[in-house]
Structure 1
Amino acid sequence: MTPSSHGPLTRRTTLKGAAVTAGALALTLSARSFDAEAAAAPAHQGVFGYGVASGDPTGTAVVIWTRVTPPRRGPKDPVATPGSGLGSRTHVTWEVARDRHFTRIARHGSYLTHPDSDHTVKVDVEGLRPYTRYFYRFRAAGETSPVGRTRTAPDVPGRSHALRFALVTCSNYTGGYFTAYRQIAARDDLDFVLHLGDYIYEYPNGPVSDASDPDGRYGPAALVGVRDAEPANNLLTLRDYRLRHAIHKADPDARAAHNAHPWITIFDDHEVANNAWESGAENQAAGTTAAQFHARRSAAYQAYLEWMPFRLPDQSRRVPHRGTRFFRRFTFGTLGSLSVLETRQNRSRQVDFPGFTAQGGGFIPTALPGLTDRTDAELADPSRHLPEPEQLAWLKAGLRADDGWHLIGNQVVQTPVRFPAAAMAPTAIESNGGPLPDTALLVNSDQWDGYQADQAAVTAAYAASPGDVVVLTGDIHSSWATEIPSTAGATAPGTTGYTPAAVEFVTPSVTSDGFYEQVAPLLQARNPAVTPEEVVATVEQLISSSRQVNPWVRYLDGVGHGFSVLDVTEERVQADFYLTPVPTSAQPDPRVVPTALPTYRTSWLTVKGTSTLTRANAPVGPRADNPA
């Protein structure tokens, strides 16, 4: 989900029509030279210019990855850049060792690249020891890759080890520098990095006014010509998606974070197209057929699987599913498990409301008799699904399996959230013949609130689980700590008493526009002299209004970008939030400053057996134990 600034409460506007009393955010914009072939540049830097990565660690296996650029046969031959389809098959050897100098080799083998897979190399290395550090490298055409660092999962039967990982989402290349990845790469205390979706964005480099694309560039104007996406067009073909993945692997901070830790990933919408559903997306050209969208999606999935260290789970029908099974589960001894959901491939189309959204959902009014009866019924329709019923049954079975921690990797917010119209939508918007009352509440129909039967079913399963549930979420470009109410009735306006069924931690975006970036242009339209400090104050006021309606939202920050660190022990789960500096007149947009690093901001934790949240006094300290 990416809110919109193009129209009323559509693609890139989360807080359109905020209580606007100030004016514009003054930014100093500068264009610098940029290599338009940045995605292809590493291909000119040797066989292993795109670095190495690892992912999906279990107790006995881990996937290792690289991309090979085959040597040219002659000096006039073109370079086999990503997406080109060029280059001959290349023999690659790989090694996994217990030490960085590779004196203790644990596993080794060979691989033959092919242009049909864009010369990516992905090996599922099995037979490893649980909870153990390893190093890996590749060799081809007389060159050796960088040495990558990885580790197997703390999954020892009958035992409980420390578990700590970083949580990231929404890494828009044109939105800013990946300083969150830089900070993650510098840590040595993480078991893995969990990326919850929107690893890439599909938008073009062209301006919004460019009629050749449904959408324009997404990100601060200060980075035009500095961090441009490759290719320049809206992504549609396999070559397009391969190049966009390549520019992410070309980014030095992303490459460092992949080099330092194994990653567990799942896509959301932007790996294909904004607010995608089963047969379409919000930002597709008019007249696009379901078959054309499915061809686009197939290309996007192929590039994703080629360029990410992702292990497809068993595709047999032993675990029922629809289409390709991407959802999967990781276990951590007696401590608990991580179930990673996938909620785009089979989702029902989002509910839209005239004057608010056209297709793909977004913020729409609810619970207004005579005005929202049709859409309210659609929101509650049990035949509409976010995950397909087979995946939901798989999740429920996992929740019943044991009394450990059940961590749920999830794309869009599960907690019921009602947004006050007075803060969110201008009263001038007319829907079905009348202005929207300021007392009205809005829901985001692209979140679980747009699929209320599934939302109620999964919440009931959380409440009935013998273990404790912690939902881990991305998508909304802001930081949250919430208690998920156990019944839908608890979400009535003004409710203060409720029984929590689970907790949810939402990690901020790496770079994608948050509430601050969406409110600033609205204030600018009123008063060009508005300061960043005034924009921040307005955002905090809007958040305060929203929390009054949703008391189960214990913490919400809509200004900072960065990442979270999750630390799991038998007694509690703690989330530490690391955010970029608060914008000021001296530094109005930290995303465009390559030295503006996320730093520790706050911590929240849930104690075993409570499903409630309390603020922690400090970030987590040293691990209780470490891998071998």
Structure 2
Amino acid sequence: MPGLNRRSFLVAGGLAVGTAYTAAGMPGVPATAHAALRSRALAGDPFTLGVASGDPDPQGFVLWTRLAANPHAEDGKGGMPDRDVPVRWEIATDERFRRVERRGTATARPEGAHSVHVELDGLRPGRDYWYRFRAGDYVSPAGRTRTAPRADTFGPALAMGFVSCSQYEHGYFSAYRRLAEEDPDLILHLGDYQYEYKKSTYTIPGGNVRDHEGPETVTLANYRLRHAQYKTDVDLQAAHQAAPWLVVFDDHEVENNWAGDVPEAGSDTPGTAEFRKRRAAAFQAYYENMPLRRRSIPDGPDIQIYRRIQWGRLANFHMLDTRQFRDDQACGDGNKVCDDSDDPKRSITGARQEKWLIDGFRSSEARWDIIGQQVFFAQRDSDSGPLKKTSQDAWDGYVASRDRITQGWVDADVRNAVVLTGDVHAHWASDLKEDYDDPDSDTVGSELVCTSITSTGDGKDSDPADHPYLKINPHLRFYNNQRGYVMTKIGKDAMKADFKTLSTVRTRGAKASIKATFVIEDGEPGPQQTYLRPYASAKMSAKAERDLIEQTIRNETQP
């Protein structure tokens, strides 16, 4: 394809899925194998779910695909035969695969939903690679990935985007497409990659844009089918093809607002054993559908998802799990006045993960320590009076846990602590304080929160200064309730964050624009606004402020 640059290849040409590829033309396949391959031909194109890569280090990464000739099969098996299928893979240093660096064969097994996870090492640090798969007479789309820089070097500035909350029914995944076009080096997904509800359970004003297939996800077949439905979206596939991903789950990959072994219905509800079966099914399907390393293979209802990724001397990414080990939400969950959230025994991470994180702060020599996690970290009080009304599903419901981790990075003299967050379906930026009840206390870190890809629908633009949360909580710096993502540029001297928004998700193809830009200077905690797209608005009445608070809470509280 002469004349195509890297971006146009990945985002345009690279999306042609399952182009027929004759076995006789494949280098490295013995002639004696051709007849066998043809005699066991697949029923159709098996690469309908695309390709992906993830968890990069200086010597390699993991490559992923999952074979599904019929991704909408109700049994969750993707229309694949009940047998092992050989899958050839290759990586190259050019997008036309003229300089193939490595090739091999993996086995897609029915017990793993015919997913493939290829872990590579021995590659060169800090450079781009292209990869693809072959099965039967089909070749997959090509993906671009990248190794991390050497541990003793900074490397060039890192272009990193982060996203969360893609409810398929609420809109089209145009934000994924726009993110792919940014040529990112790395993408973080901070949870709610897919939603568990059956059709029309979680609806938005104006009606849902498209429908979920199948019942609410409870069984392994349910979760496999739901992941497959999401993965068939071409815009999501484009984002996976564009760069390696670091993924963590939140609640909807299993069930809304679950906590440890406790389902949404609460700890006093019979059936905890049944919930553990559901969790096991959800985790199995999650691993099968994500570019994760072997360390994350589930063990029944348990999965190892918190981990640390080093990007040279520039950044450490501490990826957290704030669901599997948390205490149940206090005070019946929701946004409530509650003293139990201050209980020092309560934890959102569990003791083992908390120690792992603080130990990571102590040993870090990175310029930036970036905590990739799921729920709002800074305090958000929605009551303008003397009472404190906060979300019990976020870190506000686990105050002592938040205090210990914040003090952990302070005591470790972490140079730049930055928390990245999803979950709340709106863009936010905030100072992280030593004492949130004292506005004059030290700012000790920064939080950047990405809005949703689609969840809760279009939303609307507004003047951030008008949001009552920012008046009640002076450490909160920015708010916007449109859909989109955050694109960052991380260098030695500063981290720049562009909050990108889309005008609509009700139709496919909306463009992205910068709503605001914030910069975190090296050694100066707290994001500083450098750009805000103008918005003219009349001063809000007291009633309008109350209505906006109530709407914000509703947007963040799923049925």
Q: What is the aligned counterpart of 2:369 among 406, 412, 425?
A: 406
* Partner Cα distance (1:198, 1:142) in 2: 35
Compared CA separation, residues 464 and 44, structure 1 to 2 (3 A): farther
Which is bigger in relative contact order (C-alpha 8 A, separation at least 6)? 1
Q: 1:562 to 1:399 in 2, by over 3 A?
A: same
Could you tell me which amino acid in structure 2 is paired with residue 441 of structure 1? K
Cα 1:285–1:400 shift into 2, 3 Å? closer
Report if aligned partners of 1:313, 1:328 keep a CA contact under 8 Å in 2.
Answer: no
**1:526 corresponding residue in structure 2:** none
- What amino acid does structure 2 have at the position aligned with 1:228? D
Contact 2:69–2:80 (8 Å) recurs in 1:
no
Partner of 1:55: 54
Residue number in structure 1 paired with 2:346: 384
| Aligned residue among 230, 236, 244 for 1:248 | 230
- Say whether 1:472 aligns with 2:459: no
Residue 455 (structure 2) aligned to one of 512, 518, 521: 512
The equivalences for 1:404-553 within 5 A come to: 404-420=367-383, 440-466=387-413, 467-487=415-435, 491-492=436-437, 495-513=438-456, 544-553=467-476
Alpha-carbon distance between aligned partners in 2 of 1:244 and 1:64, rounded to the nearest angstrom: 21
3-state SS, counterpart of residue 449 of structure 1: helix
Q: Which residue of 2 aligns with 1:197?
A: 191
Letter of the structure 2 residue corresponding to residue 328 of structure 1: R
Matches of 2:498 and 2:446, distance apart in 1 = 15
Give the drift of 1:463.
2.1
1:593 shift after superposition: 2.0
Query: In structure 2, which of residues 336, 339, 342 is the aligned counterpart of residue 364 of structure 1?
Result: 336
1:556 pairs with 2:479: yes
Aligned length: 486
Write the letter of the residue equivalent to 2:187: V
Between the aligned partners of 1:276 and 1:125, the Cα distance in structure 2 is 35
Please give the per-residue CA displacement for 1:382-439, whole angstroms capped at 9, x wherever unaligned: 2221001111111111112234210110111111111126xxxxxxxxxxxxxxxx66
Aligned position for 2:105: 110
How far did residue 540 of structure 1 move? Answer: 5.9
Q: Aligned equivalents of 1:442 and 1:327: distance in 2? A: 30
Describe the shift of the 1:402–1:596 C-alpha distance in structure 2 as closer, same or farther (beyond 3 A).
Answer: same
Partner of 1:67: 66
- Distance in 2, matches of 1:552 and 1:284, equals 33
What one-letter code is carried by the residue in structure 1 that aligns with 2:53?
Answer: S
CA distance 1:338–1:578, shift in 2 (3 Å)? same
Q: 2:523 aligns with which of 604, 609, 612?
A: 609
SS of the aligned residue for 1:397 comes to: helix
Cα drift, residue 598 of structure 1: 2.5
Q: Which runs of 5+ in 1 are unaligned?
A: 1-42, 72-77, 207-215, 317-321, 353-358, 366-374, 422-437, 518-531, 582-589, 620-628
Matched AA of 1:552: H
Deviation string 1:65-108 (CA, Å, 9 cap, x unpaired) is: 1122469xxxxxx9996366753221111101111222222221
Deviation of 1:616 (Å): 2.2
Q: Does 1:120 align with 2:115?
A: yes
CA deviation after TM superposition for structure 1 residue 339, in Å: 0.6
Picking from 324, 328, 352, the partner of 2:303 is 324
Q: Provide the TM-score with structure 1 as the length reference.
A: 0.73
1:128 and 1:159 map into 2 onto residues whose CA distance is 18
The question of whether the paired residues in 1 share the 8 Å contact of 2:68 and 2:79 is answered with no
Q: Does 1:217 align with 2:131?
A: no
Distance in 2 between residues matched to 1:234 and 1:288, nearest whole Å: 19
Shift of residue 312, structure 1, vs aligned partner: 4.5
What is the CA–CA distance in structure 2 between the aligned matches of 1:133 and 1:505, rounded to whole Å? 27
SS in 1 for 2:221: helix
Ranges in structure 2 where 5+ consecutive residues have no aligned partner:
1-41, 534-559
Residues 288 and 334 of structure 1, relative CA distance in 2, 3 Å threshold: same
Check whether the contact 2:486–2:499 (CA below 8 A) recurs between aligned residues: yes
Distance of 1:62 and 1:392 partners within structure 2: 26
Query: Normalized per residue, which structure has more strand?
Result: 2
Q: Distance in 2 between the 1:120 and 1:220 partners?
A: 37
In structure 2, give the amino acid aligned to 1:473. T
Inter-CA distance 458–108: structure 2 relative to 1 (3 Å threshold): same
1:299 counterpart = 2:304: no
Residue aligning to 1:346? 325
- What corresponds to 1:180 in structure 2? 175
Q: Displacement of 1:288 after TM fit?
A: 4.4
Name the CA distance, whole Å, in 1 between partners of 2:491 and 2:509.
33
Separation of aligned partners in 1, 2:464 and 2:532: 23
Equivalent residue for 2:210?
227
CA-CA distance at 1:618 after TM superposition: 8.8
Aligned to 2:216, the other structure's residue is in SS state coil
Shift of the 159–572 alpha-carbon distance from structure 1 to 2, 3 Å rule, reads closer
Question: What percentage of residue pairs aligned between the two structures are identical?
Answer: 35
Q: 1:29 corresponds to which residue?
A: none
AA partner of residue 260 (structure 1): A
Cα gap change, 1:312 to 1:499, in 2 (>3 Å): farther
TM-score by length of 2: 0.82
- Indicate conservation of the 8 Å contact 1:269/1:344, yes or no: yes
Q: Indicate how the Cα distance of structure 1 residues 284 and 183 shifts in structure 2: closer, same or farther if over 3 A, else same.
A: farther
User: Secondary structure of 2:304's partner?
Assistant: coil
In structure 2, the CA distance between the partners of 1:81 and 1:413, relative to structure 1 (3 Å rule), is closer
The answer on 1:593 being equivalent to 2:507 is: yes
